[in-house]
Amino acid sequence: MSYVPKPGTGTLFKNDRKEKDHQPDYKGTLTLPDGSTMQLGGWIQSNAKGKYLSLRVSAFLPPKGDAE
């Protein structure tokens, strides 16, 4: 049985393919309450208060090579 995310939840995993600074440190997906899926990217940032995770949500694009 495969994992099926619940609406309103998401997951992030370390981006082991990061090659450039503009690429996210973490990547994953977010399932919206209506069941649609979005891509989620996270960057580790820091400021005077310490480290934090900056997030960006974008339209879901299936990974290259996936059969439709």
Q: Give the model confidence (pLDDT) of 11-20 as tens digits.
A: 999 999 999 9
Cα 18 from chain centroid (whole Å): 13
| Residue 63 resides in a domain | no
| Residue 9 resides in a domain | yes
What range defines the domain where residue 27 resides?
Answer: 1-47
Nearest to 55 by CA among 24, 20, 15: 24
Across 50-68, average pLDDT: 83
Q: How far apart are the first and last CA of the chain?
A: 20
Q: Which amino acid is at 30?
A: L
| Residue 13 resides in a domain | yes
| Residue 56 resides in a domain | no
| Residue 59 resides in a domain | no
Between 43 and 67, the more confident residue is: 43
| Residue 52 resides in a domain | no
| Residue 19 resides in a domain | yes
59 contacts: CB under 8 Å, gap ≥ 6: 38, 39
Q: How many domains does the chain have?
A: 1
User: What is the pLDDT at residue 62?
Assistant: 76
Q: How confident is the model at residue 66 (pLDDT cuts 50, 70, 90)?
A: low
Q: Which amino acid is at 50?
A: G
